[in-house]
Amino acid sequence: MTDTNHLWLPAPTDLTLLPDEVHVWRIDLDIPKSQLENLGATLSSDELARANRFYFQEHSQRFIAGRGSLRNILGFYLGIEPQQVRFDYEPRGKPLLADTLADSGLLFNLSHSQGLALCAVKYRRKIGIDLEYVRAVSDLEALAQRFFLPREYDLLRSLPCDQQQEVFFRYWTCKEAYLKATGDGISQLEQVEISLTPTQGAKLLTSEDWSLVELTPADNYRAAVAVAGSGWDFKCWQFTESLK
């Protein structure tokens, strides 16, 4: 399934994450200073220390915007203040809710690229999301040959140059979304099989027990969401600071 025309609307005040729903939030990372300060005030001391370690101020500000927005989103579903959200981390650094909040069953994943981030949320089902800004890649064919299966690589090479770039990032985001959901690393990319064409949406061939949805959240961006199970209703929301 490929969803390229979804409206990213502000969430309604009575928003509820139903058992058959997956919510995807689009987050703008380049925001006014006043909003950035408000989001920064919700971060923990270790998150602020991490933000300060970035060499470029732009990267520091985007980290604060992304992590602060994530805290607001999770706090909304949990019914707590953003600064009360606590995280633990998997060995590869993937954040998850701390044990004190894990009984909620709320699972999430965050991905960011350039000035945009996406957050996917679901109850009691593994979920992964990947977002990439479509850009020129000098060693595109070499990367495809390294990380894609032979039939995927052959399809990419058969396309005109102006289509190769977008298809490359479609393959990449689909594979990454699935691996982020399962907790496996990038070294497993070549073991994830995806079927797609320039005109047809992606299908995950590695497992029939997963749903895979492609998204185009903005011009020159590609994204994919992988969720355990099937039959989910995907809802897309635009994050705003007024989320309560």
- Average the pLDDT over each of 45-54, 91-100, 144-153, 164-173 and give the range with the smallest value: 91-100
| Mean pLDDT, rounded, for 177-181 | 95
- Whether residues 6 and 113 share a domain: the answer is yes
pLDDT in tens, 76-107: 999 999 999 999 988 877 889 999 999 999 99
Domain-embedded: residue 178: yes
- Whether residues 44 and 104 share a domain: the answer is yes
Q: What is the pLDDT of residue 4?
A: 46
pLDDT over 90, % of the chain:
85
Give, in order, the Cα–Cα distances in Å from 23 to each of 35, 104, 118, 181. Answer: 23, 16, 10, 15
Domain-embedded: residue 142: yes
- Whether residues 69 and 53 share a domain: the answer is yes
- Whether residues 94 and 64 share a domain: the answer is yes
Q: What distance lies between CA 215 and its chain's CA centroid?
A: 10
Print the domain residue range for 189. 133-215
- Whether residues 82 and 120 share a domain: the answer is yes
Mean pLDDT for the chain? 93
**SS3 call for 178:** helix
- Whether residues 75 and 156 share a domain: the answer is no
- Whether residues 184 and 87 share a domain: the answer is no
Q: What is the pLDDT of residue 2?
A: 45
Domain-embedded: residue 225: no
Domain-embedded: residue 88: yes
**Considering Cα of 162, then 225, then 64, then 189, what sign does the dihedral take?**
negative
pTM of the model: 0.94
Q: What is the pLDDT of residue 5?
A: 52
| Mean pLDDT, rounded, for 126-151 | 94
- Whether residues 47 and 66 share a domain: the answer is yes
- Whether residues 24 and 64 share a domain: the answer is yes
- Whether residues 15 and 94 share a domain: the answer is yes
pLDDT in tens, 192-226: 999 999 999 999 999 999 999 999 999 999 999 99
Total number of domains in the chain: 2
Domain-embedded: residue 42: yes
Residue linked to tokens 């705003």: 240
CA distance 55 to 64: 14
For residue 46, the domain's CATH number is 3.90.470.20
Domain-embedded: residue 105: yes
